[in-house]
Amino acid sequence: MSAATGAGLAGGPGAPADLPTGHAPALARNLDPLALRRVFGAFPTGVTALAALVDGEPVGMTASSFVPVSLDPPLVSVCAALTSTTWPRLRRAHRLGVSVLGGTQEGASRQLATRGAEPRFAGLEWHRTDEGAVLLGGAGAWFDCSVEQEIGAGDHRIVLLRVHVTGIDPHVPPLVFHAGRYRRLAG
């Protein structure tokens, strides 16, 4: 099978036996933003809330681009759009809270993601750390972080965060974002 027909993706040499043979994925060279958003959306992700106290008030945003990066030193990353008006405010904070949202927190995610929704934290349960990170109640995991580095990447900034403190509630199922919709894991 040639590279143009998807060698090694399905049915190629070394492919798992349970994949159908002779079926190459449908590929297109359409790289316009809407087409890319649709393809990127095929990858399910968790949803996180980034939040901190800035000038004494909670400031926050959502990110589905959260990635664990390193165990030693402990690092995670998120991406922030260059058009974000919230990230420039958050980056000033000494510490940032990252809350991995639970399956019942779709409303909180929508509220934190909506431009101009002020106050963004109205009705949300949140706690501040001594260092000023804001963590949402009801989440499945929490990270208290500081900005380690920012890297320009196209229309976003990759933000590398150093993890200082963590917490977990293993009984909270995650909120998942897939194909432009919020979903919950069956279980």
Mapped onto helix, strand or coil, the DSSP state of residue 89 is helix
Phi, psi of 35 (to 5 degrees): -65, -45
What is the per-residue pLDDT for 117? 64
User: pLDDT: is 117 or 50 the higher one?
Assistant: 50
What is d(CA 128, CA 131) in angstroms, rounded to the nearest whole number?
8
What is the per-residue pLDDT for 186? 74
What is d(CA 52, CA 132) in angstroms, rounded to the nearest whole number?
6
* Cβ–Cβ under 8 Å, residues 178 and 187: no
Beta bridge partners of 79: 158
Q: Where are the domains of the chain?
A: 45-184
| pLDDT over 90 (residue 84) | yes
What is d(CA 32, CA 58) in angstroms, rounded to the nearest whole number?
36
- Tell me the pLDDT tens digit for each residue of 30-62: 788 888 888 888 888 899 999 999 999 999 999
User: pLDDT: is 44 or 158 the higher one?
Assistant: 158
187: pLDDT confidence band, cut at 50, 70 and 90?
A: low
- Tell me the pLDDT tens digit for each residue of 11-20: 444 444 454 5
Instruction: Give me the CATH topology for the region 45-184.
Output: Pnp Oxidase; Chain A (2.30.110)
